[in-house]
Amino acid sequence: MIFMDVSKEPQKQKRLEINSFQIGLNLWIFALCFSYFGDDVRRIISGIALLFLFKSKTSFDFSAFFQKNLKYITMLFIIFWCWITFAPLFSAGGVHLGIRSLSDPLEVIAYICFTLIFAKNEKFYSQLSKFMLCGGFTFFTILLFNRYQLDFAWNPNSWILSRTAGHAGAYVCFFVPWILGRVIYMEKSYSRLFICTFLFFEAVVLLVLTFYSTFWVAFFAQMFMTALVLFLKPQKQRLRNYAFFLGIALCLIIASGVILNHLTDGAIMLRMGGEFSQIMSVGSDFEKFTTHRSVIWKNTIDLIKQHPVFGWSWKNFFEVNVANFEGQIPDSVLWASVTPHSSYLSAAWCTGIPGLLLYLSVLALLFYKSFLCVRKGCREEFFFAVFILLVGYCVAGLAEDLFAWELRLMVPAWCIFAVALLRADEGHAPLKVENAGEIFDSLAEGSSSHV
């Protein structure tokens, strides 16, 4: 009896380690997908997740990312993050401001590293998709109920969870790709299709109620690219799912639009008309189309020219803008100049033109990798969602500063981008194991095989 207990002890310990890792994995993904509850909530949950990770005694060999086929991609990614982290130390903002600015990029880097460890497990991808749907449902439902409590009155700065209408629009464009991915790549299941349709319906209604045309355009770009991907790689079941999904969603959206317009005495349609008028003015009145952002962009470019190599550092755009252009541009535009209102100009503003070039290189490589994986059938649902997310991110980034966005959006977005970039190498087959124990065996042995 004593010998039997001794022989079972290693197996019990292994099961405990596996269970600890799975709990940590789920908590970590939950922290990323529900990051909109705030940075402190995310840090607490992810901290608990790390305790379970350390308890599982999981090891990870980062040298796998420096093998021949991933070496240059990894180096580019490291150089990019090193530059945007440490370039502000040499910027016009001074060393003191540069040191104060270190915390945000270093936190993102830490989350990226631990996410890559969790992403070694095959369950990461399926769990991420499920938690994204749950996170989206929770976010949409809470905000829609809040809008209902406020009688659907439009106010760009009175949004719970997201704080502003722009942030709410950003979250919609963040969650929608995962809904579309699940619809297109799911097996034939009408119950799941109806669930995804309802989520999409909530997302579109919420997006409309933001009356934020930047993310409307980003959403339309995402829908267009979804149709393009389906056209380039047509499959009857996927096309049928998508058509059925859009048909039901469109009926629900039109019906809800009529009801909401009636409840608000026509205010919804009036406000929507104004937003569409702004979008359609792109060729005739660029100032109206950009909401006078072109003035801010011009000022930003002038300031970038003054310090083109290391930029101006983080978190001081408004102060510099006021100091340089007060009295030269309308006060309404000047006091709205909290950021450059462009991800690409923000990258150059914060970290110089080298930072912008690195930023564009990483985004271009992400586009190439994710689209290639979708075409080749490598984890199609995950990489499809990443590709559509990138479309929204890059389009919205033309008029919104997503480069220096809040951490609760930056952290989950860049963790997903990192997994896609460093796990998307088409030259390596996915890690196939029958149970989690084999993963830990391979990790313990320092196996260099990776997804």
pLDDT tens across 191-220, in order?
888 888 899 999 999 998 888 888 999 999
Secondary structure (3-state) at 163: strand
Q: Give the per-residue pLDDT at 291.
A: 66
Token couple for 39: 């940075």
- Does a structural domain hold residue 446? no
d(CA 249, CA 253): 6
Q: Let me know if residue 233 belongs to a domain.
A: yes
Q: Please, are residues 236 and 407 in contact by the beta-carbon 8 Å criterion?
A: no
How many Å apart are CA 107 and CA 119, to the nearest integer? 18
The position carrying tokens 């209408």 is 165
User: What mean pLDDT value characterizes the chain?
Assistant: 82
Task: Kindly state whether residue 7 falls inside one of the protein's structural domains.
Answer: no
89-135 per-position pLDDT tens digit: 888 877 877 788 888 899 999 999 999 999 988 889 999 999 999 99
Q: What is the DSSP letter of 68?
A: T
- The values of phi and psi at residue 326, to 5°, are -65, 130
pLDDT surpasses 70 at 13: no
Domain that holds residue 89: 67-421
In the numeric block, the tokens 């930047």 are attached to: 214
Number of structural domains (the chain) is 1
Q: Which two tokens stand for residue 161?
A: 């969870």
Angle between helices 165-185 and 236-263 (to 10 degrees): 150
CA distance 352 to 355: 5
- Residue 180 domain flag: yes
Could you give the CA distance from residue 189 to residue 97 in angstroms, rounded to a whole number? 54
Give the residues across from 65 on adjacent strands. Answer: none
* pLDDT at residue 361 tops 90: yes
19 in any annotated domain: no
Contact present, 350 and 130 (Cβ < 8 Å): no
CB of 403 within 8 A of CB of 359? yes
Burial class (CB in 10 A: 0-12, 13-18, 19+), 112: buried
Does residue 264 lie in a domain region?
yes
Q: Which of 3-17, 298-312, 350-364 is predicted least confidently?
A: 3-17
Q: Provide mean pLDDT across the span 380-392.
A: 93
CA max distance for the chain: 88
Give the position of tokens 């099961």: 15
pLDDT at 11: 63
Q: Is residue 340 part of a domain?
A: yes
CA distance 167 to 333: 20
Q: Give me Rg for the CA atoms of the chain.
A: 23
**What is the distance between the alpha carbons of residues 297 and 397, in angstroms, rounded to a whole number?**
13
pLDDT over threshold 90, residue 58: no
- Distance set, CA 322 to CA 23, 177, 348 (Å): 49, 38, 19
The answer to whether the beta carbons of residues 420 and 370 sit under 8 Å apart is yes
* pLDDT single digits (tens) 253-286: 888 878 877 777 777 777 677 666 766 766 566 6
450: Cα separation from own chain's centroid: 24
Q: Write down the pLDDT at residue 285.
A: 60
Structural contact between residues 169 and 212, judged by C-beta atoms closer than 8 angstroms: yes
Q: Would 429 be classed as within a structural domain?
A: no
Whose CA is closest to 152, among 70, 228, 265, 55? 265
Q: What's the CA gap between 141 and 170, in Å, rounded?
A: 16
Q: Which residue in the block uniquely carries the two structure tokens 């564009």?
A: 360
Q: For residue 15, how far is the Cα from the chain centroid?
A: 34
What does the pLDDT read at residue 428?
41
